[in-house]
Chain A
Amino acid sequence: MTKIVVAVKYVPDATADRTFSADNTVDREGVDGLLSELDEYAVEQALQVVEAGDGEVTVLTVGPEDAADAVRKALQMGADAGVHVQDDAIHGSDAFATSLILAKAIEKLEYDMVFFGMASTDGGLGVVPTLVAERLGLPAVTFASEITVDGDTVKIRRDGDVATQEIEASGKLVVSVTDQTGEARYPSFKGIMAAKKKPVEEWTLEDIGVDASSVGLDNAWTKVESYEPRPPRTAGEIVTDEGDGGAKLVEFLAAKKFV
């Protein structure tokens, strides 16, 4: 019986016009949100591990009311249960507070492994998994491109910049999953119907024993001072190839001293 917790984030749609609110935090109202696409890969891998043996997948999210959508999507894909940590004091949290809330919620759950996406599609820091592992005192294998569970041992392949590594770990473990692990499934009609009956717990900071004074915008260790939209690019020159496209391209490059 393998119990896997998958942390999933609810994020503003990357293809819409994302912006900031008056307090310099991400505007999560003006743009539709969704389950961070990269977390779908983590849900998929967890489901595969459980399907290959015997087990249970619980999805966990920290976010405002709408973040329940992210949990629902994962349940529709096949996860068994959900946990949603929601509290007004969480607004504006930095990576450290987020990792604290996640770690405390995970401690309250029964688990063998915790899966994460490689990075969210909004903050995109990619360090929440490693920070949660640090807080829980667990090994972290991040940026996994292949995961095999063999009894008590987990074998993971990491495809880095200069080398491919094989990692072995046993016992409780944190894993972050890349988009190289293979396509995530779409919820089936049956999955969508079944999700309606699955349990979702709502927890506040008090439920997980986190003090409001250690999270939120006012207590963040990092502060956004100001933001500005990038100046629009001035319209470039576009030519249609009439047998001389390559030559014209090089003319441009030469004028810019690249050749």
Chain B
Amino acid sequence: MTEVLVLIDAPDGKVTKPSLELLTIARRIGEPSAVVFGSADTDTLTQYGAEKIYTYDDAVYSEFLVGPKAEALAQLVTETSPAAVLVGASTEGKEISARVALKTESGWISDAVDVQASGDSVTTTQSVFAGNFTVQSSITKGAPVITVKPNSTTPEAAAGAGAVEAKTAEVSEAAKTAKITSTKVKEASGRPELTEAAIVVSGGRGTGGDFTEVEAFADTLGAAVGASRAAVDSGWYPHSFQVGQTGKTVSPQLYVANGISGAIQHRAGMQTSKTIVAVNKDDEAPIFELVDFGVVGDLKSVLPQATEEVKKRKG
């Protein structure tokens, strides 16, 4: 079987759930080979099916933006002629993979929500125009390079050989531009990561700037907290929690929108959630067109009651 290269994301060495999803998807197409810049927990990679683990360890990969990683990965593509290259659909993942595709003259598909083997090639499903259309795509040239959205599948364990191979790559001077002069890591919220969470509870302008009720409800459900751009622009919540076209795309099992009207740009980031619930005091808010369940009411009273009710049921 042919190799499928999977670019692994592992901040502080811990392999993210979307990366495990990619390894799971890779097994549909061929033999997963994990590609790691820096370090990653190789046991986890092996448990999720990595037959090979290519590691690149050099400061150049963290000192500069995507250039060096793209060059290294492109060289590996040329060397291994993989059946496909799978990368997480983060902003960095997209930039690295698009450059790899350009360098290797391969078709590139962005933001796939599903990837299937089809004959000796691959077809993908994308969700486009704010989730209003589903598109099937394929590539016509080279090895398919595909970025896949988080929550596109459930990670499944399957023992791989996990043979570690330390690699070095030639990084050109041209790739070593735009130097990172400082990196300030954000404080962790203690809640699940927004794009990976099974439940997301969001607040918008309707919170009036106070996210207490939204956070309390999120915490009883073990959920991540999200925000609309109106809430972010008002300085009520950090940008990294924004859901929507210019924020994060989330696709959880459950999305709860509170005091959010449901503008097209917000929908673009949450419309593919499995179950959608909204609390809004305006019964004509467009968000109600999407919901499986909606409460017309003031979030300031509905959410605290819901929080108490969940606590009661949990006992």
Contact = CB atoms under 8 A, between A and B. Distances in A.
Interface of A: 14-15, 18-20, 38, 94-96, 99, 118-119, 121-122, 124-127, 130-131, 134-135, 137-143, 145, 159-169, 173, 178-180, 220-230, 233, 236-241, 244-250, 252-254, 256, 258-259
Given A163-B184, A167-B65, A253-B277, A178 B295 contact: no
B221 A259 contact: yes
Interface string B98-139: 110111011111110000000000010001111111111111
A258 B199 contact: yes
Contacts of B65: 139-142, 167
Given A166-B181, A222-B107, A245-B295, A127 B277 contact: no
A14 B135 CA distance: 18
Contacts of A248: 295
Given A126-B94, A252-B277, A167 B180 contact: yes
Contact of B309 (A121, A142, A166, A250): A250
Contacts of A134: 70, 99, 102-103
A223 to B, nearest CB: 5
Interface of B: 11, 65-67, 70, 90-92, 94-95, 98-99, 101-103, 105-111, 123, 127-142, 174, 177-186, 199, 221, 229, 239-240, 245-246, 253-254, 264-265, 275-277, 279, 283, 288-298, 301-310, 313-314
B68 to A, nearest CB: 12
Contacts of A131: 98-99, 102
Contacts of B221: 253, 258-259
A179 B183 CA distance: 21
A236 B94 contact: no
Given A124-B245, A167-B178, A245 B301 contact: yes
B181 A230 contact: no
A125 B293 contact: no
A247 B306 contact: yes
Contacts of B276: 236
A96 B132 CA distance: 25
B197 to A, nearest CB: 12
Nearest to B139: A222
Contact of A95 (B91, B106, B108): B108
A230 B304 contact: no
B184 A164 contact: yes
Contacts of A126: 91, 94-95
A249 B136 contact: no
A43 B25 CA distance: 40
A84 B156 CA distance: 50
Nearest to B275: A256
Contacts of A220: 107, 140
Contact of B137 (A15, A225, A230): A225
Nearest to A248: B295
Given A130-B66, A233-B290, A163 B183 contact: yes
A259 B310 contact: yes
Given A220-B140, A221-B101, 7 more contacts: A18-B132, A125-B110, A142-B95, A220-B107, A223-B107, A230-B131, A238-B293
A246 B308 contact: yes
